[in-house]
Chain A
Amino acid sequence: MQSVFTGAVYVVRDNIDTDQIIPAQFLNLVPTIAEEYERLGSHALCGLPDALYPTRYVAEGQLDSTFPIIVAGRNFGCGSSREHAPIALGSAGCGVVLAESFARIFFRNCIATGELYPCELTARLCEELKTGDEVTVDLDAATVTVKASGRVVPLKPLGDVRPVIDAGGLFDYARESGMIDQPAATA
């Protein structure tokens, strides 16, 4: 599993709720249907107001984002329990969200789906970075390094959450650790 992520960041502020991550009108898409999973990615973060966020996370007509890392302020993922939110981000190619804090259900859904690593920052990077700046996130070292300045910011350790996401989510982890049986043969 990947432990180092390098690339351009997409920067958002506080309180980005699940409607901004994936607007309710796209919840008619079912994430377990492969084609609809892909389409969810194309709409990731399209609920952000255009005036505040002139650059779209996923360019018009594309399925994937060019930003593998999202940098956010407080309370990222607040609002609804829709699992479509971490799934839309993961489907668009996001591997890590770095936020000052996360809302509870979103955080849990990141772990359960194994779609992306939700890492808590120890500094308000959303004030310092601009969309397009390059960083390197090292999960083993629990750091994020800003390419331009060389500044290294520690991340709060993921702890028990990391092996679940490494395994690919709740079910894969539960099987690896013997908590549930191997899947029944599908018909």
Chain B
Amino acid sequence: MTLTEKVLARAAGKASVQAGDNVWVNADVLMTHDVCGPGTIGVFKREFGANAKVWNPDGVVIIPDHYIFTADSLSNRNVDILREFARDQGLKYFYDVIDDPNGTWKFDAAKGSFARQFGARYAGVCHAALPEKGHTRPGEVLFGTDSHTCMAGAFNQFATGIGNTDAGFVMGTGKLLLKVPETMRFRLEGRLQPGVMAKDVILHVIGEIGFDGATYRAMQFDGPGVAGLSMDDRMTIANMAIEAGGKNGIFPFDARTAEYVEARTRLNGTRQAYEPVEADADQKCCYERVVDLDKLEPLVACHPDPGQRKTAKELGGMKLDRAYVGSCTGGKASDFVEFARVVRGRKVAIDTFGVPATPTIVRELQTTWWGDQTIWQILQDAGVRLTENAGCAACLGGPVDTFGRMNEAGLKCISATNRNFPGRMGSKESEVYLASPATVAASALAGKVTDPREYLS
């Protein structure tokens, strides 16, 4: 069996499963957020009754993160719906925006977009917050009402995005009927070279197989090259399995996984026991391909879909209006570190927005010193408009007052985010080009698409 088959067999209580089997699997964690949570709660109450209890109050994790720092009243109300539900259900893992469990959330636009407006429990972007807060464990099944839930596959678990109705079903029963996906195997070899990042690995793979090349399938990333990838790197790669249509992305378990998971579960007091899975030697995959990390170059996925791969060099000289670094995919501490390495001591030439994924990352950037400056200061000095209000922000457009949103038609933005269909970051007449944080940084400096190695020699 493959990694995915192993996890699903265990979750279904079966000795083995194979691709194509329909099985009922038990969920370990169900995650939802402010955009899909209220609808999921609505389905749960409609179907199980207004006074029904969730299947496991410690298994439901609610992380408001999408439309938080906006004056849009419906969005503010949606956070309040989550709070009321978490209180009624006695949920331990509700990462509220505010500290008062009986309060209401209202964004204060007069205070501006930059300074922190959240309370002590707020956790930021769900996919980055889940591992940080100790909710990702090898061998487990995670369902989330968000397509980038597949990011948690970095931790050797089965993680996939589902809709509100399926999530309402899981909320009430703890189970979901799934078809076991076929596995596409990407064997990573070698090591990434300077200026080349994990983002380039996944843009390369999607470019190879196309934006629907993994539809209904699992994407398994294994091989000796995995050892050289940090957990942040693996998260970036697993995150974008959905951009090839994949059901999930998954990595093998190793000492790095163990170290990360054990540190976070211990720190946060979440369940520490876990049992990783290992693929069988005779695993059956529907596709196998070697990815030579040494040979990869900085890449860009062009408007209008994540499969439009070109090298940054090929596109060199294409003029840009804006740059953006942030999101689950591209807003981790390591992403800002690589961005800072490129822009340090230089100035960006175009509007450049930075949105860390979580408050923990904000703190790390503000307290990590490179010589006489913090990383935060280095970015600010370079002209990056950095907000402390960690969240999804303009990655998916959002309400019109969202920080960094592309409200004008005709703008071209290079972005460290994960999706670039028309209108993704705002105006449907704008264009998004996806690249690594290093490539975004170099391009922000030059005002046109630029290979980051030009600044790193």
Give chain A's interface residues, CB within 8 Å of chain B.
Answer: 15, 17, 19-20, 23-25, 27-33, 47-51, 74-75, 78-84, 101, 103-105, 108-109, 112-113, 169-171, 174, 180, 183-187
Give chain B nearest CB distance to A73 CB in angstroms: 11
Residue of A74, A105, A187 near B49 (CB, 8 A) is: A187
Comparing B96-104, B221-229, B353-361, B392-400, the segment that makes contact with chain A is B392-400
Tell me if A28 and B75 are in contact (CB < 8 A). yes
Residues 301-337 of B at the A interface (beta carbon under 8 Å): 304-305
Residue of A25, A31, A49 near B39 (CB, 8 A) is: A31
Complex: A95 Cα to B147 Cα, angstroms: 25
B220 part of interface (Cβ distance < 8 Å): no
Residue of A15, A74, A80, A101 near B146 (CB, 8 A) is: A80
Comparing B84-92, B210-218, B230-238, B279-287, the segment that makes contact with chain A is B210-218
Complex: A32 Cα to B39 Cα, angstroms: 6
Give chain B's interface residues, CB within 8 Å of chain A.
Answer: 35-36, 38-39, 41-43, 45-52, 66-67, 72, 74-75, 78, 81, 144-147, 149, 161-166, 168-169, 172-173, 211-212, 215-216, 245, 247, 304-305, 396-400, 419, 421-424, 428-429
Tell me if A105 and B161 are in contact (CB < 8 A). yes
> Ordered nearest first, which 6 A-B pairs have the shortest CB separation?
A32-B42, A184-B49, A83-B163, A81-B161, A112-B165, A109-B163
Tell me if B305 and A113 are in contact (CB < 8 A). no
Tell me if A47 and B400 are in contact (CB < 8 A). no
Tally of A-B Cβ pairs under 8 angstroms: 159
Residue of A25, A75, A185 near B212 (CB, 8 A) is: A75
Residue of B52, B81, B169, B245 near A171 (CB, 8 A) is: B169
Residue of A29, A104, A169 near B247 (CB, 8 A) is: A104
With contact pairs A15-B211, A19-B396, A78-B211 given, residues A30 and B165 touching in the complex (Cβ less than 8 Å): no
User: 5 A–B contact pairs at CB < 8 A?
Assistant: A28-B399, A74-B212, A79-B419, A171-B47, A186-B45
Tell me if B169 and A170 are in contact (CB < 8 A). yes
Tell me if A25 and B211 are in contact (CB < 8 A). no
Residue of A79, A108, A185 near B163 (CB, 8 A) is: A108
**Residue of chain B at shortest CB distance from A106:** B163
Chain B residue contacts of A20, Cβ below 8 A? 421-423, 428
Chain B residue contacts of A169, Cβ below 8 A? 165
Chain A residue contacts of B216, Cβ below 8 A? 104
With contact pairs A101-B212, A104-B245, A171-B169 given, residues A80 and B147 touching in the complex (Cβ less than 8 Å): yes
Interface centre among A29, A48, A78, A101 (most CB of B within 10 A): A78
